[in-house]
Structure 1
Amino acid sequence: MLELVQVNKSYPTPQGPLSVLQGVDLHLAAGESLALMGESGCGKSTLLHLAAGLDTPDSGEIRLDGRSLSALEEPGRARLRRERLGLVFQQFHLVPSLSVADNLRLQARLAGREDPAWNRTLLERLGLTTMADRYPERLSGGQQQRLAIGRALAARPDLLMADEPTGNLDESSADEVLELLLALVKDSGCALLMVTHSPRVAAPLDRCLRLTHGRIEETAP
């Protein structure tokens, strides 16, 4: 489903180029869940942005379901994100002027794959059925994160990418959100790439990779 081959990425600084990723290889199979761990600032989010086509590598190859992202211009990468990927970030990025139900539908509508029955199932599983007409500002942090996860899954993506999806929640809420996320990913059949610094969050996933000094290795959580 996702393949990175010898990916390198650096950023300019006043002191010269700062190398963030050095020859990174990563393989994620369809339906597999993978945790990407590492200390803050080690390049985890950079790798996720590259894999989602939100940024481009200096060199190397990134393929989604066999299709090279480097062969696509930005409109093509945006279409691929809209139709094939679900993205969940620490910041919820909910639309404040849309209700819970309309926020949930948004990604599926953009992808042209809205499924009312699946939307109802998601609202129920997310515990948001009675809040469908509310606006995001009236939800707790945990409820907003659940809604962001539901929106990303509403279009039944092939791959869900999550960047520290429980990082802004207290431990109890984080555990509930993580359990729900993994259950919904399993039900939808999509692959999952999750960035986290927490061994506890990484433990339930199929595999774990650790990013250190720009390089990656398989490890136990």
Structure 2
Amino acid sequence: MLELQQVHKTYTTPQGPLKVLDDVSLRLAPGQSLALMGESGSGKSTLLHLAAGLDLPDQGSITLAGQNVSTLAESDRAKLRREKLGLVFQQFHLVPSLTVIDNLRLQARLANRDDTDWTAYLIARLGLEGLEKRYPEQLSGGQQQRLAIGRALAPRPPLLLADEPTGNLDETTAGEVLELLLSLVRETQCALLVVTHSPQVAAPLDRCLRLRHGQLINTEL
């Protein structure tokens, strides 16, 4: 579902070149869940952005659902994200002017996969029944993150990328949100890549890899 081969990424800074990823290779099979751990600045979020086609590597290749993301034009990468990816971030990135139900259906509509029955099921599973006409600012942090997860999964993408998905939540709420996320991922049978610094988040996933100074400590290819 996702494969990175010998990926390098360097940014230009006032202090000179900053190497963020150095010869990174990994593979995520369909239906698998993978935690990518590492300290702040280790390159975790950069890897996630590259995997989503939000940025391009300096060297190496990134293949998503059989397509080489590195060679696609921006319009084609955007189309690939709409059709193949769900994205969940630490910041919820909900649209403040849209209601709960419209936020939930947004990604599915963009992917032409708006399913009324699936939406109703998600609302129930997310614990948002009766809140469909509220706006994001009227929800708690946990409710907003559950909504963000539901929005990402509404089109039933084959791959979900999550960047510190419980980082803004208290411990109890974070545990509940993580349990819901993993349960819905199992139901939809999508692959999951989670960037996290938390062992508690990584523990239930199928596999765990660690980044240190831009390099994978235990690479699999």
Q: Does 1:58 align with 2:58?
A: yes
The answer to whether residue 173 in structure 2 is matched with residue 195 in structure 1 is no
Aligned residues: 219
- Contact preservation (8 Å) 1:85, 1:158: yes
Deviation at 1:217, TM superposition (A): 3.0
Give the conservation status (yes or no) of the 8 Å contact 1:34–1:194. Answer: yes
Aligned partner of residue 211 in structure 2, secondary structure? strand
- Quote the residue 2:212 is aligned against: 212
1:82 aligns with 2:55: no
CA RMSD across the alignment? 0.9
Question: In 1, are the aligned partners of 2:41 and 2:213 still within 8 Å (CA)?
Answer: no
Q: Secondary structure at the match of 2:41?
A: coil
* Mapped partners of 1:141, 1:39: distance in 2: 24
2:114 corresponds to: 114
Q: Are 2:7 and 2:58, in contact at CA under 8 Å, matched by a contact in 1?
A: yes
Query: SS where residue 40 of structure 1 aligns?
Result: coil
SS state at 2:14 partner: coil
Gaps of 5+ in 2: none
Is 1:174 aligned to 2:187, yes or no?
A: no
Aligned partner letter, 1:142: G
Give the C-alpha shift of residue 213 in structure 1: 1.3
Residue-by-residue CA offset, 1:174-205 (whole Å, 9 max, x unaligned)? 00000000000000110000000001110000
Q: Secondary structure at the match of 2:217?
A: strand
1:13 Cα deviation from its structure 2 partner:
1.3
Q: Map residues 1-221 of structure 1 onto 2, 5 A cutoff.
A: 1-218=1-218
Letter in 2 for 1:182: L
**1:106-131 deviation line (CA, Å, top 9, x unaligned):** 00000000111110110000000110
Q: Choose 61-70 or 161-170, whichever is displaced more.
A: 61-70
**AA aligned opposite 1:173:** T
Please give the alpha-carbon distance, in whole angstroms, between the structure 1 residues aligned to 2:218 and 2:117: 39
- How far is 1:218 from its partner? 3.7
TM-score (norm 1): 0.98
Query: Where has structure 1 moved over 3 Å in runs of 4 or more?
Result: none
Residue 16 of structure 1 deviates from its aligned partner by: 1.4
Report the Cα distance in structure 1 between the residues aligned to 2:65 and 2:99, rounded to whole angstroms. Answer: 34
CA distance in 2, matches of 1:65, 1:150: 22
Deviation at 1:15, TM superposition (A): 2.2
Contact persistence 1:105–1:119 (CA under 8 A) = yes
What letter is aligned with 2:116? P
The whole-number CA distance in structure 1 between the counterparts of 2:116 and 2:217 is 41
What amino acid sits opposite 1:7 in the alignment?
V
> Which amino acid is 2:202 matched to?
A
Q: Which amino acid aligns with 2:57?
A: P
